Structure 1
Amino acid sequence: MVNFNGSLLQGEQYLNHENRGLRYGDSLFESFRAINGKLIFWEDHYLRLMASMRILRMEIPMDFTMENLEDKVLETISGNDLMNGPARVRFTVFRNNGGLYLPTTNDISYIIEAKAWNQPFFILNEETYEVELYKDFYVNPDMLSNLKTNNKVLHVVGSIYADENGYDNCLLVNNQKQVVEALNGNLFVVKGNQIKTPPLEHGCLNGILRKKLIEILKKDADINLVEEAVSPFELQKADELWVTNSVIGIQPITKYRKKSYENKVAKSVLGKLNALARLS
């Protein structure tokens, strides 16, 4: 059961071949967790969605308040019998039908989906997790790359490459050969007491978990958090590498080429992340 423009639908046709998200990727989305009817980091996801809609010149409806959309998300979760457990939510916004590249309207529609998730809180997956650089195509270092749009062809073909070659994930680079992010999240590099993450101007996603981890790490007097360029050479010098997003939390990388990594710092940060999630 999905929520289309405020109405719960089950099996009805509500999209067609003229959908601009399908035709042009003219669409944005937010993915986040819900636990027992509580939306994790909802305010941050809402504000990012509103800012992204403004950048793409989408018309924001008058009823797109944080409270009203939260109610619509909760209706969707309830309609899928997921109020008493963990759920994964996807909120998609797309410009309405009409036009070619130039739309005939900037009005939007939205879809909310909710599916059961396997863990109520962020946990650390300590199983083998191997990555490789994906260099067939590059991330553009601009503001559009910071947005969570439906233009994810790079991430799709990168995921196919990873699957065909037995990797769990790939790291993406921009056209300046700087490491930007993983296929499904932001990247953090731990070396001694320094933790580095690529800056937004290099083209990484403006991730909500990235933002929250930066907040946590900057409060730790024993950690030097920097937003700086990450070169491929640095990866094999690091003590730890993490992939982060709003659904998995922190995923430690265990192997890149001949280098194996620890996860001690990731473990220490995870408790603080779950505490912050409970307060959100």
Structure 2
Amino acid sequence: MNTPRPPRFVPPVSLAQHRQDAALALVFLTRLPLPIAGPLADGAAARAMGWFPLAGGLVGGIGGGIAALAGLAHLPPLAAALLGLAAMVAVTGGLHEDGGADVADGFGGGRDTARKLEIMRDSRVGSYGVLALVFSVGLRAAAIAALLAAGGGTAIAALVAAGALSRAGLAALAAHLPPARRDGLAAAQGTPARATVRLAAGLGLGVAFVGVGWLALPAALAAAGATALMGALARRQIGGHTGDVFGAAQQVAEIAALLTLTAWMTGA
């Protein structure tokens, strides 16, 4: 008779590890020169996904601040919005935009899974990728311009909320979809635990609530729906996730959250 094994003991994450995970999230998603003290703890890359919403809120706040300052300088709302987006791209290195363009090229131009993945690894941008970038920048710029018309503080709050919410679902995406490549960076990052998924969801909603109050709820539903749709599309197209899929999911979720907030906050 086999004796059942006792449940595996998982040691709690220390405060120092939480700080390291949060710093690692910023290193992953931004170009901010943050030093990581000491060697990475086991599972740090996957746990860092729980802190992605904080990085997203910071990126949104920087973009919103630049856009608001441009508005105070009496620039047209659309020009100010584009400057805010440019600041966000500068902070992230265009990480998510690049992923969105690669996914559009791969999903739109590949006939089978192998070819789709091959196209997504190609550094060149095709027509589908260019169109994806045009729509991403255009829709977000239009939303930010409308928010700026309602006030610089309104734009900052909405961008902080959208930045956090659009990255809150990436941990769930990684937890529920298998890696499409065994040798990809997304596969090497590992699968986040349920606690990490809950942390990301809680932080995303919490940051958004601080920024826009109860409007965080419809924005969160819009972002979650967009992320889920991207996950279902990725499963159908390539059988799982990649780093590019994460980038594309962030883009569509941010657009969904921003458009929702614009409709509610401006009455547009």
* TM-score exceeds 0.5: no
TM-score (norm 2): 0.25
> Comparing both structures, which one devotes a greater share of its residues to strand?
1
> Comparing both structures, which one devotes a greater share of its residues to helix?
2
TM-score (norm 1): 0.24
* Greater RCO (Cα-Cα under 8 Å, separation 6 or more): 2
